[in-house]
Structure 1
Amino acid sequence: MLRRILAVIAGIIVGSIGIWLIERVGHSLYPLPAGLKPTDMEGFKTYVENLPFMGKFIVILGYALGALLSGFVATKVANNNKPTAAIICGIIFMFFTIYNMVVLPTPAWFWVLGIAVWGLVLAGYKLALNTNKA
Protein backbone atom coordinates (compact mmCIF):
# COMPACT_ATOMS: atom_id res chain seq x y z
CA MET A 1 0.00 0.00 0.00
CA LEU A 2 2.78 2.45 0.93
CA ARG A 3 4.55 1.71 -2.36
CA ARG A 4 1.40 2.62 -4.33
CA ILE A 5 1.01 5.87 -2.41
CA LEU A 6 4.66 6.71 -3.09
CA ALA A 7 4.09 5.80 -6.74
CA VAL A 8 1.31 8.37 -7.03
CA ILE A 9 3.39 11.01 -5.24
CA ALA A 10 6.39 10.31 -7.49
CA GLY A 11 4.16 10.42 -10.57
CA ILE A 12 2.69 13.76 -9.54
CA ILE A 13 6.13 15.25 -8.82
CA VAL A 14 7.72 14.08 -12.08
CA GLY A 15 4.63 14.96 -14.11
CA SER A 16 4.61 18.45 -12.57
CA ILE A 17 8.26 18.93 -13.48
CA GLY A 18 7.50 17.91 -17.08
CA ILE A 19 4.63 20.42 -17.28
CA TRP A 20 6.77 23.13 -15.72
CA LEU A 21 9.60 22.58 -18.21
CA ILE A 22 7.34 22.89 -21.24
CA GLU A 23 5.54 25.89 -19.76
CA ARG A 24 8.93 27.56 -19.23
CA VAL A 25 9.50 27.20 -22.98
CA GLY A 26 6.08 28.73 -23.57
CA HIS A 27 6.86 31.66 -21.28
CA SER A 28 10.14 32.26 -23.08
CA LEU A 29 8.30 32.39 -26.43
CA TYR A 30 5.34 34.34 -25.03
CA PRO A 31 6.69 36.26 -22.02
CA LEU A 32 4.50 37.61 -19.28
CA PRO A 33 3.92 41.36 -19.52
CA ALA A 34 6.53 43.46 -17.74
CA GLY A 35 5.50 44.27 -14.20
CA LEU A 36 2.90 41.51 -13.93
CA LYS A 37 2.96 40.34 -10.34
CA PRO A 38 2.31 36.65 -9.49
CA THR A 39 -0.60 37.72 -7.28
CA ASP A 40 -2.32 39.75 -10.04
CA MET A 41 -4.99 37.27 -11.13
CA GLU A 42 -6.82 39.77 -13.35
CA GLY A 43 -3.57 40.60 -15.14
CA PHE A 44 -2.82 36.91 -15.64
CA LYS A 45 -6.36 36.33 -16.98
CA THR A 46 -5.80 39.10 -19.52
CA TYR A 47 -2.45 37.56 -20.49
CA VAL A 48 -4.04 34.12 -21.03
CA GLU A 49 -7.00 35.58 -22.91
CA ASN A 50 -4.68 37.39 -25.35
CA LEU A 51 -2.24 34.50 -25.72
CA PRO A 52 -2.11 33.27 -29.33
CA PHE A 53 -3.13 29.73 -30.24
CA MET A 54 0.43 28.39 -30.05
CA GLY A 55 0.93 29.86 -26.60
CA LYS A 56 -2.11 27.96 -25.35
CA PHE A 57 -1.21 24.82 -27.30
CA ILE A 58 2.21 24.72 -25.62
CA VAL A 59 0.35 24.33 -22.32
CA ILE A 60 -1.45 21.28 -23.79
CA LEU A 61 1.94 19.89 -24.87
CA GLY A 62 3.14 20.35 -21.30
CA TYR A 63 0.12 18.44 -20.05
CA ALA A 64 0.87 15.67 -22.56
CA LEU A 65 4.48 15.35 -21.40
CA GLY A 66 3.32 15.49 -17.77
CA ALA A 67 0.79 12.73 -18.41
CA LEU A 68 3.33 10.44 -20.09
CA LEU A 69 5.96 11.00 -17.41
CA SER A 70 3.45 10.68 -14.60
CA GLY A 71 2.02 7.40 -15.89
CA PHE A 72 5.48 5.99 -16.56
CA VAL A 73 7.00 6.89 -13.20
CA ALA A 74 3.92 5.90 -11.17
CA THR A 75 3.88 2.49 -12.87
CA LYS A 76 7.61 1.93 -12.36
CA VAL A 77 7.47 2.89 -8.68
CA ALA A 78 4.30 0.87 -8.00
CA ASN A 79 6.00 -2.13 -9.64
CA ASN A 80 2.77 -4.16 -9.73
CA ASN A 81 1.98 -4.07 -13.47
CA LYS A 82 -1.40 -2.45 -12.75
CA PRO A 83 -2.53 0.91 -14.14
CA THR A 84 -4.02 2.09 -10.83
CA ALA A 85 -1.25 4.50 -9.78
CA ALA A 86 -1.05 5.99 -13.29
CA ILE A 87 -4.83 6.46 -13.44
CA ILE A 88 -4.91 8.13 -10.02
CA CYS A 89 -2.20 10.55 -11.19
CA GLY A 90 -4.23 11.31 -14.32
CA ILE A 91 -7.38 11.97 -12.31
CA ILE A 92 -5.57 14.28 -9.89
CA PHE A 93 -3.98 16.24 -12.73
CA MET A 94 -7.30 16.38 -14.59
CA PHE A 95 -8.99 17.99 -11.57
CA PHE A 96 -6.25 20.63 -11.40
CA THR A 97 -6.57 21.20 -15.15
CA ILE A 98 -10.34 21.65 -14.89
CA TYR A 99 -9.85 24.10 -12.02
CA ASN A 100 -7.40 26.13 -14.13
CA MET A 101 -9.81 26.12 -17.07
CA VAL A 102 -12.66 27.34 -14.87
CA VAL A 103 -10.55 30.13 -13.38
CA LEU A 104 -8.80 31.24 -16.59
CA PRO A 105 -10.38 32.19 -19.92
CA THR A 106 -9.81 29.16 -22.14
CA PRO A 107 -11.46 28.30 -25.46
CA ALA A 108 -13.57 25.17 -26.06
CA TRP A 109 -10.78 23.34 -27.91
CA PHE A 110 -8.54 23.80 -24.87
CA TRP A 111 -11.20 22.20 -22.67
CA VAL A 112 -11.46 19.18 -24.97
CA LEU A 113 -7.71 18.65 -25.27
CA GLY A 114 -7.04 19.69 -21.67
CA ILE A 115 -9.22 16.85 -20.41
CA ALA A 116 -8.45 14.25 -23.09
CA VAL A 117 -4.68 14.59 -22.82
CA TRP A 118 -4.67 13.05 -19.34
CA GLY A 119 -5.56 9.73 -20.91
CA LEU A 120 -1.90 9.67 -21.94
CA VAL A 121 -1.07 8.43 -18.43
CA LEU A 122 -2.11 5.05 -19.86
CA ALA A 123 0.47 5.43 -22.64
CA GLY A 124 3.06 6.09 -19.94
CA TYR A 125 1.80 3.01 -18.11
CA LYS A 126 2.15 0.86 -21.26
CA LEU A 127 5.60 2.27 -21.94
CA ALA A 128 6.68 1.38 -18.42
CA LEU A 129 5.40 -2.18 -18.88
CA ASN A 130 7.24 -2.50 -22.20
CA THR A 131 10.53 -1.43 -20.64
CA ASN A 132 10.11 -4.21 -18.06
CA LYS A 133 10.17 -6.79 -20.85
CA ALA A 134 13.40 -5.52 -22.37
Structure 2
Amino acid sequence: MLRRILAVPAGLIAGIICITLVEKIGHHLYPPPAAAGSRDMTAMKEYVAHAPFMALFFVIIGYALAAFVSGFTASKVANNAKHTSAVVCGVIFLLITIYMMASLPTPAWFWVLGILVWGLVFAGSSLALKTKKI
Protein backbone atom coordinates (compact mmCIF):
# COMPACT_ATOMS: atom_id res chain seq x y z
CA MET A 1 0.00 0.00 0.00
CA LEU A 2 2.79 2.45 0.92
CA ARG A 3 4.50 1.81 -2.43
CA ARG A 4 1.34 2.81 -4.32
CA ILE A 5 1.04 5.99 -2.27
CA LEU A 6 4.67 6.94 -2.87
CA ALA A 7 4.57 6.00 -6.57
CA VAL A 8 2.87 9.19 -7.75
CA PRO A 9 5.16 11.64 -5.89
CA ALA A 10 8.17 9.62 -7.07
CA GLY A 11 6.95 9.79 -10.67
CA LEU A 12 6.24 13.51 -10.40
CA ILE A 13 9.67 14.24 -8.93
CA ALA A 14 11.39 12.19 -11.65
CA GLY A 15 9.39 14.04 -14.31
CA ILE A 16 10.14 17.46 -12.86
CA ILE A 17 13.85 16.65 -12.84
CA CYS A 18 13.66 15.67 -16.53
CA ILE A 19 11.80 18.82 -17.52
CA THR A 20 14.22 20.99 -15.56
CA LEU A 21 17.33 19.40 -17.10
CA VAL A 22 16.07 19.57 -20.68
CA GLU A 23 14.79 23.13 -20.28
CA LYS A 24 18.16 24.18 -18.80
CA ILE A 25 19.85 22.84 -21.93
CA GLY A 26 17.31 24.71 -24.07
CA HIS A 27 17.86 27.93 -22.11
CA HIS A 28 21.61 27.55 -22.52
CA LEU A 29 21.23 27.24 -26.31
CA TYR A 30 18.39 29.77 -26.61
CA PRO A 31 18.71 32.12 -23.63
CA PRO A 32 15.56 33.95 -22.61
CA PRO A 33 15.84 37.64 -21.69
CA ALA A 34 16.78 38.29 -18.07
CA ALA A 35 13.32 39.71 -17.30
CA ALA A 36 11.65 36.46 -18.39
CA GLY A 37 13.42 34.60 -15.57
CA SER A 38 12.43 37.10 -12.90
CA ARG A 39 8.78 35.98 -12.74
CA ASP A 40 7.77 38.89 -14.97
CA MET A 41 4.83 37.31 -16.81
CA THR A 42 4.70 40.10 -19.40
CA ALA A 43 8.35 39.52 -20.33
CA MET A 44 7.77 35.77 -20.42
CA LYS A 45 4.75 36.18 -22.73
CA GLU A 46 6.82 38.40 -25.02
CA TYR A 47 9.63 35.84 -25.08
CA VAL A 48 7.34 32.90 -25.86
CA ALA A 49 5.54 34.86 -28.56
CA HIS A 50 8.83 35.51 -30.39
CA ALA A 51 10.93 32.51 -29.35
CA PRO A 52 12.60 30.45 -32.05
CA PHE A 53 11.02 27.09 -32.86
CA MET A 54 13.79 25.09 -31.19
CA ALA A 55 13.53 27.09 -27.97
CA LEU A 56 9.93 25.95 -27.64
CA PHE A 57 10.65 22.47 -28.97
CA PHE A 58 13.10 21.89 -26.10
CA VAL A 59 10.12 22.27 -23.77
CA ILE A 60 8.26 19.56 -25.73
CA ILE A 61 11.34 17.32 -25.56
CA GLY A 62 11.42 17.87 -21.80
CA TYR A 63 7.73 16.99 -21.54
CA ALA A 64 8.22 13.81 -23.61
CA LEU A 65 11.17 12.65 -21.52
CA ALA A 66 9.32 13.52 -18.32
CA ALA A 67 6.25 11.58 -19.44
CA PHE A 68 8.27 8.46 -20.16
CA VAL A 69 10.40 8.67 -17.03
CA SER A 70 7.53 9.54 -14.70
CA GLY A 71 5.43 6.67 -16.09
CA PHE A 72 8.34 4.27 -15.68
CA THR A 73 9.20 5.48 -12.17
CA ALA A 74 5.62 5.50 -10.89
CA SER A 75 4.94 1.99 -12.18
CA LYS A 76 8.22 0.63 -10.83
CA VAL A 77 7.62 2.12 -7.39
CA ALA A 78 3.97 1.02 -7.25
CA ASN A 79 5.01 -2.50 -8.25
CA ASN A 80 1.39 -3.60 -8.75
CA ALA A 81 1.33 -4.56 -12.47
CA LYS A 82 -1.02 -1.65 -13.29
CA HIS A 83 -0.71 1.66 -15.14
CA THR A 84 -2.72 3.57 -12.50
CA SER A 85 0.13 5.50 -10.85
CA ALA A 86 1.61 6.40 -14.23
CA VAL A 87 -1.76 7.67 -15.48
CA VAL A 88 -2.19 9.84 -12.37
CA CYS A 89 1.25 11.39 -13.02
CA GLY A 90 0.34 11.95 -16.68
CA VAL A 91 -2.96 13.62 -15.82
CA ILE A 92 -1.32 15.93 -13.26
CA PHE A 93 1.39 16.95 -15.72
CA LEU A 94 -1.19 17.36 -18.51
CA LEU A 95 -3.29 19.73 -16.39
CA ILE A 96 -0.21 21.79 -15.51
CA THR A 97 0.79 21.86 -19.19
CA ILE A 98 -2.65 23.04 -20.29
CA TYR A 99 -2.60 25.77 -17.64
CA MET A 100 0.84 26.96 -18.82
CA MET A 101 -0.17 26.88 -22.48
CA ALA A 102 -3.30 28.89 -21.70
CA SER A 103 -1.23 31.41 -19.73
CA LEU A 104 1.36 31.96 -22.46
CA PRO A 105 0.92 32.70 -26.19
CA THR A 106 1.93 29.24 -27.39
CA PRO A 107 1.45 28.28 -31.04
CA ALA A 108 -1.03 25.61 -32.20
CA TRP A 109 1.68 22.99 -32.85
CA PHE A 110 2.84 23.40 -29.25
CA TRP A 111 -0.71 22.73 -28.01
CA VAL A 112 -0.98 19.57 -30.09
CA LEU A 113 2.41 18.16 -29.08
CA GLY A 114 2.13 19.46 -25.53
CA ILE A 115 -0.99 17.38 -25.02
CA LEU A 116 0.01 14.29 -27.02
CA VAL A 117 3.41 13.73 -25.39
CA TRP A 118 1.86 12.98 -22.02
CA GLY A 119 0.58 9.74 -23.52
CA LEU A 120 4.17 8.55 -23.26
CA VAL A 121 3.50 7.75 -19.60
CA PHE A 122 2.00 4.53 -20.97
CA ALA A 123 5.22 3.68 -22.83
CA GLY A 124 7.27 4.24 -19.68
CA SER A 125 4.79 2.32 -17.58
CA SER A 126 4.69 -0.57 -20.06
CA LEU A 127 8.47 -0.83 -20.03
CA ALA A 128 8.48 -0.81 -16.24
CA LEU A 129 5.88 -3.56 -16.13
CA LYS A 130 7.87 -5.72 -18.58
CA THR A 131 11.16 -5.48 -16.67
CA LYS A 132 12.13 -7.47 -13.62
CA LYS A 133 10.26 -6.53 -10.45
CA ILE A 134 12.21 -4.76 -7.74
For the residue of structure 2 that corresponds to 1:44, the secondary structure is helix
**Aligned-partner Cα distance in 1 for 2:87–2:37:** 35
Partner of residue 51, structure 2: 51
1:74-121: CA deviations, max 9, x gaps? 000000010000000000000000000000110111101100100000
Query: Runs of at least 4 residues of structure 1 off by over 3 A?
Result: 34-37
For residues 109 and 37 of structure 1, do their structure 2 counterparts lie closer, same or farther at Cα, with a shift above 3 Å needed? closer
Identity %: 62
Q: What's the offset of the Cα at 1:38? A: 1.8
- Is 1:76 the counterpart of 2:69 in the alignment? no
Q: Does structure 1 residue 132 correspond to structure 2 residue 132?
A: yes
The number of aligned residues is 133
Cα distance in 1 for residues equivalent to 2:85 and 2:132: 17
TM-score normalised by the chain length of structure 2: 0.94
The answer for unaligned runs of 5 or more in structure 2 is none
- 3-state SS in 1 of match to 2:131: helix
Q: What is residue 7 of structure 1 aligned with on the other side?
A: 7
Deviation at 1:5, TM superposition (A): 1.9
Structure 2: distance between partners of 1:36 and 1:61: 20
RMSD: 1.3
Question: Who is 1:87 aligned against?
Answer: 87
Conservation of the 8 A alpha-carbon contact between 2:72 and 2:86: yes
The answer as to 2:113 corresponding to 1:113 is yes
TM-score by length of 1: 0.94
